[in-house]
Structure 1
Amino acid sequence: MNDKNISNRVYLSTVAGDAAPVAAEYGLGLELAEFCTASNMDADFNEWDAVAREKMKSADRLVLHAAFNELCPAAIDPLVLDIAKRRYRQAYELAAGYGIRRIVAHSGYVPFVYFKQYFVDRSVEFWQEFLSDKPADLTVVLENVLEDEPFMLIDVVKGVGDPRLRLCLDVGHANITKKDVTMEEWARAVVPYLGHAHLHNNRGWPDSHDPLFDGDMDLEALLHILAGGAPDATLTLEIRDSCRSSVEWLANKGFLDR
């Protein structure tokens, strides 16, 4: 094993149909995406629970991706905010039942709806309240989606001031939305606050979640920044359709065991 091997830190998102068998073959973790749709935690829960548990048999390391549609910790309407609190509480209870201690949550930021400072202040309040009764071994990682720079979510993490809240850099989202900042600058800015990353490629639009080698980002260079600068951070390949070719690419580059 060489000094850049990150096999024990890599996960595969179950958005890819082959994530479970490839994870088993390479000894990687899984990030469960079955409950990204909130309603899967409700009436159809038994069905989706069975799907998730079957996939979980393929890995001994797990991350849960929380629901995200229409959820915002900075919601202005108090009833909408109540829904966000309920859904994130459900995600935590579900993760706890699965023995999962790392949860990915979208930031919920929407440009032209929230002023940035307002969003930061409200998000700090939300996550401080959320974490107030949670165990010390829980980690929530806050994922960028529509942000055009890294500093707003850095301010949220710094404002919360709790080691249980870290950042999840989604490089594909950042590549689409970035303004006046390069991908390398974004990566270096978040490294001190990084708990997790989502890895996929694109050509600036759309959010296609293409293989790591298929796009205009240099994923090898970004991996050196993220994995080297944040040695405790985990990384998920969030590739649509099939993740095998990206896993093989990582192995060929020396990042994974063969």
Structure 2
Amino acid sequence: MKIYISQLNETKVVLPIIEEYDVGIEAVIFASPFILDDKEKYIKEYKDELGNLCDNIEISLHGPYADLIPGSRDKLISQVANYRFEQAYQVAKDLGAKKIVFHNGYAPNTYYEKEWIRNSANFWKDFMKDKDESIAIHIENVLDEDYKWIKALIDEVNNPNLSVCLDIGHINAYSNLSVREWIDGLGNRIGHFHIHNNDASKDSHLGIINGSIDVLEILNYIDSKLNDVSISLEIIDINELKESMKILNNNNFIKKRNKVK
């Protein structure tokens, strides 16, 4: 199971952790539309910040999501989503990223099921037409109350390079179904996970032991049920992230890194 750190802190704060543990990084900076509009400048700056690690670690990218609705019935809105997603894809290519995570963009009770799935499937079929296999595309649940809509989307698009990014914190905050039920319901449609914790009242992005999810139990369940999946730790507080890394290391989910020269 390949593990990434989702970069919710400045690069200089996260780098010592990346240098200590054999993990990749999930860049979040390019989720910003302002960054994407000057992406060449920020790609260079980001590569400079990573230094030698840039060519020695796996990189994932969190795509843009603010105000973007791939399943919109308004063609102008879906065109904007496509424009931003294409920008992110080019960034991923330039960084040599292995994967991109995009939000599903669905808000409950705003669309009829058939309409949303049809609109979303058409969007993703079109987006994936010219994409090669070098970058995996993962669609993330956010406000989704159950897995049925995202499951139907993946099945309808039916592209081996498109899968689910299952965010367990979002499940805990927004769904009445358990994380295990989501995993069982989606099965091998899952290619990536976002791992963080909360107390089920809101999406808090806490460390793995700082909430009501038994994260270690979930990780062991993932390990027993799914092959060839990766995870990103989406933890805001740097001390909680460090604590989580130690726990994962002690439980043999990650190893210390050989020093990069």
Same fold (TM over 0.5): yes
232, 238, 241: which one aligns with 2:234: 238
Q: Secondary structure at the match of 2:8?
A: coil
Amino acid at match of 2:35: N
Identify the residue that residue 179 of structure 2 maps to in structure 1: 183
244, 253, 256: which one aligns with 1:255: 253
Contact 2:121 2:156 in 1 (8 A): yes
Matched, 1:26 2:24: no
Q: How does 1:1-258 map to 2 (within 5 A)?
A: 6=1, 9-17=2-10, 18-43=13-38, 46-47=41-42, 49-51=44-46, 53-55=48-50, 57-58=52-53, 59-179=56-176, 181-242=177-238, 243-258=241-256
Q: Deviations over 1:183-215 (max 9, x none)?
A: 221122223111100000000122110000110
Report the Cα offset of residue 52 of structure 1.
5.4
Contact 2:195 2:232 in 1 (8 A): yes
Q: Secondary structure at the match of 2:30?
A: coil
Distance 1:27 1:170 in 2: 22
Contact 1:16 1:239 in 2 (8 A): no
Contact 2:69 2:105 in 1 (8 A): yes
Contact 1:187 1:225 in 2 (8 A): no
Distance 1:205 1:57 in 2: 41
Contact 2:68 2:81 in 1 (8 A): yes
Report the Cα offset of residue 170 of structure 1.
0.4
**What is the TM-score when the length of structure 2 is the normalising length?**
0.90
**What is the TM-score when the length of structure 1 is the normalising length?**
0.91
Amino acid at match of 1:250: L
Amino acid at match of 2:204: S
Q: Which runs of 5+ in 1 are unaligned?
A: 1-5
Distance 2:218 2:135 in 1: 26
Report the Cα offset of residue 45 of structure 1.
5.7
Q: Secondary structure at the match of 2:210?
A: coil
Distance 1:110 1:192 in 2: 24
Q: Secondary structure at the match of 2:31?
A: coil
Distance 1:48 1:130 in 2: 23
Q: Deviations over 1:64-107 (max 9, x none)?
A: 11000011111121111110010011011111111113110000
Contact 2:193 2:232 in 1 (8 A): yes
Distance 2:186 2:47 in 1: 31
Distance change in 2, residues 1:96/1:51 (3 Å) = closer
CA-based RMSD of the aligned residues comes to 1.7
Amino acid at match of 2:125: Q
Bigger CA drift: 183-192 or 232-241?
Answer: 183-192
Q: Secondary structure at the match of 1:35?
A: helix
Amino acid at match of 2:97: I
Amino acid at match of 1:22: I
Distance 1:249 1:115 in 2: 43
Q: Which runs of 5+ in 2 are unaligned?
A: 257-261
Instruction: Name the count of aligned residue pairs.
Output: 250
Amino acid at match of 2:77: V
Distance 1:49 1:241 in 2: 27
Amino acid at match of 1:112: N
Percent identity, aligned pairs only, is: 29
